[in-house]
Structure 1
């Protein structure tokens, strides 16, 4: 029997969290025997998707603002209709070339409304294909709150009309989908929880740092890095600091930070061994993005979380507050962040024992492969008997 073909669409607009999670899932699917093609449409990030996975790279679009208002090209210029039409056609050409058995849309239709210009035509193409591929939506455990009337109803309508299942990459005992998507009950029969998508257990690091500071993709983490750098400069020089700015931090900001770093503070744009660094660190200081938190939990590292809340973002704050309530992290607000405030949080975190592993289900990548394998086999048996 040939390997099931998976067509996995992922669009990152600001940070790299969506791409990183999708890459972990794609790697697990490949290991499980699926033939995976990942379609990406954001800025290039080295290492994502992982080496050996087939990929289709669409002309990049980014969020024009931190509030996800509008689309821009890689140079920050607003995109026009001609650009978007070309992207749509390239996406549809790739879909017809792969002729997948399973299509995964990361975030959509629960997010990525900006991409409807190409995703609604993709849904139509899926519906018209014979045999029709299994279509699933792949979403994180905590969704951004929607304030505009009708948005949740629109999502439910699309799920009912087109999607076979919704894979929620979370532990239901931690956060259940109805907490951030009030209409979840209307599609309850389609929802499957996979567990959190963490990476594998980290290896021993090649370098050891006492404190690891990270800012996700780097597009919105400059204040966190500046506060951490100011604190590091005042700290005991025997304590080593690793500051990872993220690949999307501007060259100007990175150069300014590098000028102010001292001997016990190392500055990096990106570290492939980030999970391993956490394994040996005393403390992690970071935002509260999905993948970063999964890495922290997998490593069993103490942590200070500074959730990103600009532009009305609510997802990271809920995650950070929930982890703090379970004693798995110390959480402080992004607004008004300073070195002094951060110092208090660091002292509080270091006074605690490292969090115990096993509190939450972190096996979501492998479980996603199991689920899709079961769905594909059920569809194959159904088609053979019809």
Structure 2
């Protein structure tokens, strides 16, 4: 089976890394991953080819495109070149499955290239091919949900054969944030959550590598680094207070997209405190969570699933611009798996108290399905075999 997997990220890197975990589940098949956002460093699986379209990101209001190629300002030219290259990819690889991350539940601005490709798939322009949507557990709700449902149905129902929902319905069901589920014509499959799992023994090996002994390890992260500065500063300040009563090691990951100015500020805050290490990024993040006694993070999908897979207790500060992170974090807090942080918890003294309490906690077993990558592969295999 050959799959062309389209993933366009515009803010953080979570969409890319969740897609990579799905691709790992497709290890017995050939995958062509097509991306079009800012370039992201990752280890490419042997069965995957990565093709980068001319880069685009969005303005903060998500209304306009910003070209990422140096010196390029003509947006229309970028759109034209992307679509031309995309059609060439489909013509060369003639996939059995066209897997699309999020669209049409989101990324509507990218319909300029996706609708023509989906039309080609429907007309078997590049041979027999199934179009499948890959979507996370919780969708961003719109002010006018009736209009959003109508728009999604109009693009989803005639163009796709299946929808993969990367959730465990025991925690979150799609209809909770998309009220038009009953009107979806393609098959809807819950795959379980997509989680990047640490290798057995990876955490213990990393603790030995870091020379921690019995010293507790706190891992702080904020995803891609576009947001989360207030949480980083809070944790850095709280660590200094916490060290007076609870010796520990703090490793801070600022995210690859943190500005140089912000990164320098975080390093300055850590200066003189030899138990604090500030880094931008690590490819071994699941290993760090497996090694950790406590995680402090935002509440994005990938970080949350990494945390569940590692079985580490977490303090989680959900991004409040939409309710996705808060909804998921609230439900996990109800199960005793994390503690949700609010704005008032970011005062250094309060944060230090939460960190001290968190170091004494172990999470309650969650019982959630974290095999979304492997299950996605099985569902696609069954779809193509019909």
Q: What TM-score does the superposition give when structure 1 sets the normalisation length?
A: 0.90
SS at match of 1:374: helix
Alignment coverage as a number of residue pairs: 369
Deviation track 1:40-67 (CA, whole Å, cap 9, x = no partner) reads 11111111654652011011111221x4
The separation in 1 between residues aligned to 2:51 and 2:268, in whole angstroms, is 38
The separation in 2 between residues aligned to 1:362 and 1:222, in whole angstroms, is 29
CA RMSD in angstroms comes to 2.0
Partner of 2:384: 376
Q: Kindly indicate whether residue 374 of structure 2 is the aligned counterpart of residue 366 of structure 1.
A: yes
Q: Kindly indicate whether residue 235 of structure 2 is the aligned counterpart of residue 228 of structure 1.
A: yes
Change beyond 3 A, Cα 1:50–1:338: farther
Structure 1: where are the runs of 5+ without partners? Answer: 379-386
Deviation track 1:47-89 (CA, whole Å, cap 9, x = no partner) reads 1654652011011111221x43322123698762112111111
Q: Kindly indicate whether residue 314 of structure 2 is the aligned counterpart of residue 303 of structure 1.
A: yes
| Structure 1 contact 308–334 (Cα < 8 Å) conserved | no
| Structure 2 contact 131–162 (Cα < 8 Å) conserved | yes
Q: Kindly indicate whether residue 313 of structure 2 is the aligned counterpart of residue 293 of structure 1.
A: no
The separation in 1 between residues aligned to 2:39 and 2:45, in whole angstroms, is 12
1:282 counterpart (263, 285, 293): 293
Q: Kindly indicate whether residue 153 of structure 2 is the aligned counterpart of residue 145 of structure 1.
A: no
What does residue range 2-13 of structure 1 map to in structure 2 within 5 Å?
4-13=1-10
Change beyond 3 A, Cα 1:232–1:194: same
SS at match of 2:283: coil
The separation in 2 between residues aligned to 1:68 and 1:288, in whole angstroms, is 21
SS at match of 1:248: coil
Change beyond 3 A, Cα 1:40–1:260: same
Partner of 1:383: none
Q: Kindly indicate whether residue 156 of structure 2 is the aligned counterpart of residue 162 of structure 1.
A: no
362-371 or 70-79, which deviates more: 70-79
Structure 2: where are the runs of 5+ without partners? Answer: none
Partner of 1:72: 66
Partner of 2:38: 43
What does residue range 320-359 of structure 1 map to in structure 2 within 5 Å?
320-334=329-343, 337-356=346-365, 359=367
The separation in 1 between residues aligned to 2:76 and 2:2, in whole angstroms, is 31
The alpha carbon displacement at 1:161 in A equals 0.7
The separation in 2 between residues aligned to 1:347 and 1:45, in whole angstroms, is 34
SS at match of 2:168: coil
Partner of 1:381: none
The separation in 2 between residues aligned to 1:344 and 1:98, in whole angstroms, is 55
Partner of 1:175: 172
Partner of 1:129: 124
Q: What TM-score does the superposition give when structure 2 sets the normalisation length?
A: 0.90
SS at match of 2:22: helix
The alpha carbon displacement at 1:352 in A equals 2.8
The alpha carbon displacement at 1:5 in A equals 0.8
